[in-house]
Structure 1
Amino acid sequence: MIKIALFSSKSYDKEYFERFKPQAGIEIRYFKSALNEDTTELAKGFDVVCVFVNDQINSTVLKYLKEHGTRLIALRCAGFNNVDLDAAQDYGIKVVRVPAYSPNAVAEHAMALILTLNRKTHKAYNRVREGNFSLERLTGFNVHRKTIGVIGTGKIGKAFCNICLGFGANVMAYDIHPDSELEKKGVVYSSIENLFKNSDIISLHCPLNDNTRHMINKDAFKIMKDGVMLINTSRGALVDTKAAIKALKKHKLGYFGIDVYEQEENLFFHDHSENIIEDEVIMRLISFPNVLITSHQAFFTHEALEEITTTTYQNITDFTNCKESKNVVA
């Protein structure tokens, strides 16, 4: 019997993990708490710890897990920047992930942010519900023939490029590994500086690491066009949020759509409607009329949840059967 501790559990996690659970050999305990240094005792005695984007698996956590029987960290997401991979290797704990649960879900959400910010459909919806049918201050622009800069053309970035091409946009891209298939379709790869300089819309689809942290900073904003639209559905710390606020105040940044946020672990996936939110940065962002924030929702489709669940189970089964998995990251 494989015992799994699933952290940061929500109702939809339990729904899908119970729906696709193998008939025998697996026992799951669901914890609403995130896994961090304060909650490690909950993982005592579990063979597998299953975690999500805002669980913090540092060296201290990994040491405790090793000492109390955990042999596998199963990420139910693509990113793994929240896991100390070096420490995991030192303690002999394998780490697996779900590399591509639904590229189209995230890519489509990025385009939804663009269209909503541009055509102001969220504002129009609220107006009409109040009996206001005026079109004043709802003017948008055509995405057709605009230049969209895509940073990162992995599976999600590639899906997003294809959507943009479908709108008739000019697509520029930056990636250390250009995609020849996208190039044949008309995507033009360039330096990141050239992309900043020429893009009307910039969308981020790259991983978070030491090289990409705060890649969108005050220096990057200086290069960008006045009124540029910036979209981030990847990782919050790709953007220096305080620099973005300054760019918004100076009208350099004309539109800002984010599904991720640097300090989201203290906010996202929870209902704070009856609480005072003490994060002054997020509250300042919310105050701008040209900022649109969703709370790490881009992945959230039926197809993605099914893929996350089935791949996670397969990763765990491969590990217990000593079968090599292509989804191992450490």
Structure 2
Amino acid sequence: MSTITSNKVKTIKTLNQIADSGLQVFDEENYKIDNDSESPDAILARSYNMHGMEFDNPLKAIARAGAGVNNIPVDKCTEQGIAVFNTPGANANAVKELVITSLMASSRNLFDGVKWVKSLENEGEQIPKLVEAGKKQFVGKEIKGKTLGVIGLGAVGSLVANDVLNLDMDVIGFDPFISVNTAWNLSRNVQRAMSMEEVFENSDYITVHVPLTNDTRGMFNEQAFKVMKKGVHILNFSRGELVNETDMAVALESGKVGKYITDFPNENVLKMENAISVPHLGASTKESEENCAIMAARQVKEFLETGNIKNSVNFPNASLPYTGKRRVAAFHQNVPNMVGQITSAISNYHLNIADMVNRSRNDYAYTMIDIDDKVNGDIIPELVEDIKNIEGIVTVRVI
């Protein structure tokens, strides 16, 4: 597949309700929102299941207004040279607020208490007396002076860690892949754990903020529970599959785990004693939806107009200041001499290279080359065809 970018109006298709503030990123002069289009230049989606969909030229990008991309066939998109974007951090504050709310509410048995009070609605004048008599069953504990373990100190985890320090909690965090930017923003009062086991052993509450991978699937299991404090509260607002639900049910029944709070309810979780199921509300705020939509739209627009990539889950991040010169953007296999072959194809037309960048990600790489000379538009299709014929090229376009 190859694509050539021209000055034609680009078509954007949405598969879910995308906030208007995000769609307004696309100016009407250069873009058209057409949700019935069979050949869009880019797709914006939230949770729409795209597995099984067929993607044809000229589709260049798919953006998920959210962090998870399990609803998108990423491998298929990579093979076809379609960039897949997500919006990490755009909903971080919303998730952080819900985590801290659940931390405090579960510690004070607020969820069970509210549910019990609701059951008294037909008791009339007896309600105040019944409340006073029954409230002792919901005696909780304060979080002040307790230790919160944070596994994963990314966009959400770092916000949670910093904010609970102001609630007079001690915080211990573990993240072997912490980014430099996050490290700079993380409070020096967050204690660094050298292993997850260290977090498990020392925490009264544990919150997890890691992606679902083969290494993290079922990370909360019988072995992990054995080293935890008795009565620990576990908060999971990342992915349900991080928890071995069979082992969690046993741990809750024995009291080893005092409470399990999750944003991913299912039949198993609903049957667990002392499990609190939240109906996947982590990012469900007006502000979060707007932030995600704007971020997704801006990333797609930047990619379509300049070729620059930020927050792609399958293409390498790559940026080159856009000066208006003709730009060759090629996605290709990460094998030797690809850049040399691309530059040779350009030089065959007696064109000078003004600037370039090449970045790789696993088996694939992305190359952008700015051409210094004024390019005769008539040669563009020929140049694209020559580059497309290089073995290992997936897509190529000239911007």
Q: Same fold (TM over 0.5)?
A: yes
Structure 2: which 5+ runs fail to align? 1-8, 122-126, 315-399
Q: Any idea what SS the aligned residue of 2:11 has?
A: strand
2:145 aligns with 145
CA distance in 2, matches of 1:99, 1:186: 22
1:243 aligns with 247
1:5 aligns with 13
Q: Any idea what SS the aligned residue of 1:136 has?
A: helix
Q: Residue 254 in 1 paired to residue 238 in 2?
A: no
**Paired residue for 1:216, among 220, 223, 226?**
220
Residue-pair matches, total: 290
1:136 aligns with 136
1:157 aligns with 157
2:84 aligns with 95
After superposition, give the CA deviation of every residue in 1:267-296 in whole Å (9 maximum; x if it has no partner): xxxxxxxxxxxxxxx234223452111122
After superposition, give the CA deviation of every residue in 1:62-83 in whole Å (9 maximum; x if it has no partner): xx21x36422111111233554
After superposition, give the CA deviation of every residue in 1:271-329 in whole Å (9 maximum; x if it has no partner): xxxxxxxxxxx234223452111122111222211111111211221122134132222
1:226 aligns with 230
CA distance in 1, matches of 2:110, 2:25: 37
Q: Which amino acid aligns with 1:185?
A: N
1:196 aligns with 200
Q: Residue 26 in 1 paired to residue 20 in 2?
A: no
2:109 aligns with 120
Identity %: 26
Q: Is the 8 A contact 2:150 2:207 kept in 1?
A: yes
* TM-score, normalised relative to structure 2: 0.66
Q: Is the 8 A contact 1:228 1:254 kept in 2?
A: yes
What is the CA distance between 1:230 and its match in structure 2?
Answer: 0.6
After superposition, give the CA deviation of every residue in 1:141-172 in whole Å (9 maximum; x if it has no partner): 11011111100011211100012211111111
What is the CA distance between 1:111 and its match in structure 2?
Answer: 1.2
What is the CA distance between 1:47 and its match in structure 2?
Answer: 2.5
What is the CA distance between 1:192 and its match in structure 2?
Answer: 0.7
1:264 aligns with none
Q: Residue 47 in 1 paired to residue 53 in 2?
A: no
CA distance in 2, matches of 1:305, 1:167: 28
CA distance in 1, matches of 2:111, 2:102: 10
Deviates more, 1:180-189 or 1:291-300: 180-189
1:187 aligns with 191
**Paired residue for 2:94, among 79, 85, 105?**
105
Q: Is the 8 A contact 1:117 1:290 kept in 2?
A: no
Deviates more, 1:137-146 or 1:289-298: 289-298
CA distance in 1, matches of 2:47, 2:216: 17
Deviates more, 1:132-141 or 1:229-238: 132-141
When Rg is computed on C-alpha atoms for both structures, the one with the higher figure is 2
CA distance in 1, matches of 2:33, 2:187: 47
Q: Which amino acid aligns with 2:81?
A: G
After superposition, give the CA deviation of every residue in 1:155-210 in whole Å (9 maximum; x if it has no partner): 21110001221111111111014536536224333311111112111101112222
Q: Which amino acid aligns with 2:45?
A: V
**Structure-2 change in CA distance of 1:237 and 1:126 (3 Å):** closer
